[in-house]
Amino acid sequence: MKVIVCENYDEMSAKAFEVMKELLDAKKDAVLGLATGSSPVGLYKEMIQYHKDGYSYKDIKSYNLDEYVGIDRKDPQSYYTFMYENLFKDIDIDLNNTHVPFGSTEADCKAYEDALSEVSIDLQVLGIGQNGHIGFNEPGTPFETLTHIVDLTENTREANARFFDNDINKVPTQAISMGIGTIMKSKKVLLVANGENKADAVKAMIEGPIDTACAASALQNHADVVVVLDKAAASKLTK
Ligand code: F6R
């Protein structure tokens, strides 16, 4: 894993965009794997700025990691809406080329995995949960898992309550998520993490044993991972 430590969130976002820009410039029809949450918002702002500067995303395809179960796509809290508001509406990507998983059944999971098997993700953007989850692959998820329905842990629902009026009872209990096996198929992984509350998870991901107790530790087995951190998220690393 290549680890880059930055002063703050803005520098982290700019560094992460540098990694993505290399791909965007080399391949106008690149396939991006995208994440929601606070961590990549700055990276998405950089992507938007690049469009304002003249870059066209019209041939880029995107596949998102996950979506809540039981929330309508048009709901303000859906991950589809998050992607639309934080990225898609401000770039010229063809919305038909954007994919966010949806549904609650095995057939829905298989349909998303089948769609993914027709492409090859060039760059998968990831955040990391305080419990080490990537996508919504919570601790204990087998590393070979493909797109599946997940029961969200209390810890994850608490962390995400900030998007639901700080009321954990409003946070859905399940999500549909790419599996760790799905994520590991991507050619390159770009993980961004900021803040002290991510420091333990970051340490377990990079320096801990490769163990399902920390889903992100699976990335130690991936050949091309770039981790971009702010100082606080990197604060518990020993090397
Ligand atoms: C989001 C996702 C999650 C988040 C993680 C960190 O699509 O799959 O794994 O990346 O929960 O969330 P933030 O960035 O909000 O701290």
Q: Which ligand 1 atom is the nearest neighbour of the CA of 64?
A: 7
- Ligand 1 pocket list (CB less than 6 A): 35-39, 65-66, 127-129, 133-136
Catalytic-residue membership of 66: yes
Which one-letter DSSP state was computed for residue 102? -
Q: Whole-angstrom Cα distance, residue 197 to residue 189?
A: 22
Query: From the alpha carbon of 137, which atom of ligand 1 is closest?
Result: 9
Q: What is the pTM of this model?
A: 0.97
Mutate to test the pocket of ligand 1, among 133, 176, 180, 214 (most ligand atoms within 8 A of CB): 133
Taking each helix axis from N to C end, the angle separating 41-52 and 9-26, rounded to the nearest 10 degrees, works out to: 50
CATH pick for 2-234 out of 3.40.50.1360, 3.40.50.150, 3.40.50.970, 3.40.50.2020 = 3.40.50.1360
* pLDDT per residue of the chain (239 residues) written in tens, 0 to 9: 999 999 999 999 999 999 999 999 999 999 999 999 999 999 999 999 999 999 999 999 999 999 999 999 999 999 999 999 999 999 999 999 999 999 999 999 999 999 999 999 999 999 999 999 999 999 999 999 999 999 999 989 999 999 899 999 999 999 999 999 999 999 999 999 999 999 999 999 999 999 999 999 999 999 999 999 999 999 999 97
Of 97, 87, 27, 15, residue with least CA distance to 58: 97
